[in-house]
Amino acid sequence: MLHFCCGRVESVVFAARDRYMAEAVIRHMDGPEARVVVWAHHGHIAKGTYGEQVPALGSRLRERYGDAYYALALFFGKGFFLARRGDDLQGPPVPHRIGTGIRSLEAWLADAVRGDYYADLRNRTAPWMHTPQAQRSFGANVPRFVYRFHTAPLVPAQDYDGLAFVARSTCSHLLPGTEI
C-alpha cells in the first residue's frame, strides 16, 4: 500500500499532468514544418520546475527542442480574471478582481513602463531579470478574498525567455454552449 502526505500526492499528480501535456505537444510537432503555440499557466510553461520541484511542461519542451522552445510569460497589472471559487470543481467560473498590488513582479512591471509591452529576456543582463521575484499565482480555482495574496517564486530570465505585460486585464468569456 502506498501512503503519501498531501504535498507529495499533489507533486506526483502535477508531474504526471505536465509530462502528459508535454507528450501531447510533442505529438503535434511531428512534421518538419509543424508549429505549436501553448497557452498555459506560468507554472506549466516555465523552463524549469515549480512547486515541489515538479518538472514543468516547459522544461520538457526545452529539453527536447532547445532554444526553439520560447517560454513567453503573460503578466497583467490590474483588472479581472475568470476562475472557479474555492474548491468548487463543478461550478461556473466567475470574475475575480485584482489590483496591481505592491509586492509582486506585476507591480514592479506596472511601475517600470506605462501601458502594454513585451520584453525579450534572452541575453539581457538587467539585475532584476536574474534575481528572485514573486509573481502572483492564480489557477483554475481561487479561494475567496485571499487569492490576492497568492504568489509563487520566479527568477524571470531563468524561468522565461520573454514576458508580455498587459496593464489592464478584462475577463475572458465562455463561448455559448461551452461547458468546462
pLDDT in the model for residue 5: 41
What is the pTM (predicted TM-score) of this model?
A: 0.85
pLDDT in the model for residue 134: 93
Question: For the purposes of burial, counting CB atoms within 10 Å of the CB of 176, is it exposed (0-12), middle (13-18) or buried (19 or more)?
Answer: exposed
Q: Which residues pair with 134 in a beta bridge?
A: 153
For all residues of the chain together, what is the average pLDDT?
Answer: 87
| Of 5-9, 87-91, 95-99, 133-137, minimum mean pLDDT range | 5-9
Domain boundaries, the chain: 1-69, 72-174
pLDDT in the model for residue 6: 45
pLDDT tens readout for residues 21-77: 999 999 988 777 888 899 998 889 999 987 778 899 999 999 999 999 999 999 999
Closest CA to 105 of 58, 148, 156: 156
Closest CA to 131 of 164, 108, 102, 100: 108
Tell the CATH superfamily of the 72-174 domain. Answer: EreA-like (biosynthetic domain) (3.40.1660.10)
pLDDT in the model for residue 139: 84
Question: What does the radius of gyration of the chain's CA atoms come to, in whole angstroms?
Answer: 17
| Of 4-13, 96-105, 111-120, minimum mean pLDDT range | 4-13
